[in-house]
Amino acid sequence: MEEQVATQTALHLVIVSGASGSGRTQALKCLEDLGFFCVDNLPPALFPKFTELCTQSSQELRHIALGIDIRERGFLADVFANLDHLKACGHSIEILFLEASDEVLTRRFSESRRPHPLLPQQPVLEGIRLERQYLQDLRDRADRILDTSTLTVHELRDWLFRHYGDVEHPRVMRVSLMTFGFKYGVPYDADLVFDVRFLQNPNFVPELKPLTGEDQAVQAYVFASEEAKLLLDHFRAFFAFLFPLFARERRSYLTVAIGCTGGRHRSVAIALRLHEMCRQLGYEASIRHRDIHRG
């Protein structure tokens, strides 16, 4: 059995555990954003079968994060036995242990108004101390121990990105450009919304009215004005300043909406130039014209 697994792709497994309230769930969400396939509270007895299925998957699952919430003493024996088995099969196993001070954990439980999962009928502090006893052996075997007492959610995310992100192939924030017509409503999913209705309107030019901003004649008309040219200059400076700040916050994507009256002429012409501008600034960009064929 071990020889069969060894011939398959070796997996990188990160076991995420620690005290309740220390940030385990948030850590799994961050690892998922980094491309890890995350499973929470998978029974240890299923670890070997689970990894076998991952190595055989057509989705090329190489990086796995498993969340462990230990509430019984007997659970540890199964965890260590199965992890040792996976190591013997050639998989890379790493235990990430999260913890925090009693004071911080107590405050977090108080803020969430939840009882401690180990002793739901007892004071939270008693549950915290009992859980520390249960987790001590796992903490002793941990490869990384992170105290989240003074960390914000964003700082925890930054720490995980530094230690588990792909340094050789860092993820680049994607920019999604959307054009729309104000007469049909502002997109609810936009991060940034820009109104270009102050530009001269091709809709009032008979030969341009049936066309769209994708046509050269409409683009020539829109960019014949100094306002449109200046607008692109301002967009370039604004995007060059703003996008790195969003990327620094580990944003996977940013949706920028450009609107005119009907979403057919001016917004489309501007967005097409912005699409190329994003690429020049080093960001992957896509474009969608929501209302171009309406009206």
The confidence score (pLDDT) of residue 55 equals 83
The confidence score (pLDDT) of residue 90 equals 87
Residues of the chain with pLDDT under 50: 1-7, 167-168
Q: How far is CA 39 from CA 1, 46, 66, 86, in A?
A: 24, 12, 5, 17
pTM exceeds 0.85: no
Nearest-Å Rg of the Cα atoms of the chain is: 26
Query: What is the edge-to-edge ordering of all strands in the sheet holding 284-289?
Result: 192-195, 253-260, 174-181, 284-289
The confidence score (pLDDT) of residue 129 equals 92
The confidence score (pLDDT) of residue 7 equals 43
The confidence score (pLDDT) of residue 171 equals 63
Domain spans in the chain, listed from the N-terminal domain onward: 2-164, 174-289
CB atoms within 10 A of CB 92: 14
CATH number of 2-164: 3.40.50.300
Q: What are the pLDDT digits (tens) for 205-238?
A: 999 999 999 999 999 999 999 999 999 999 999 9
Residue 210: exposure state from Cβ atoms within 10 A (0-12, 13-18, ≥19): exposed
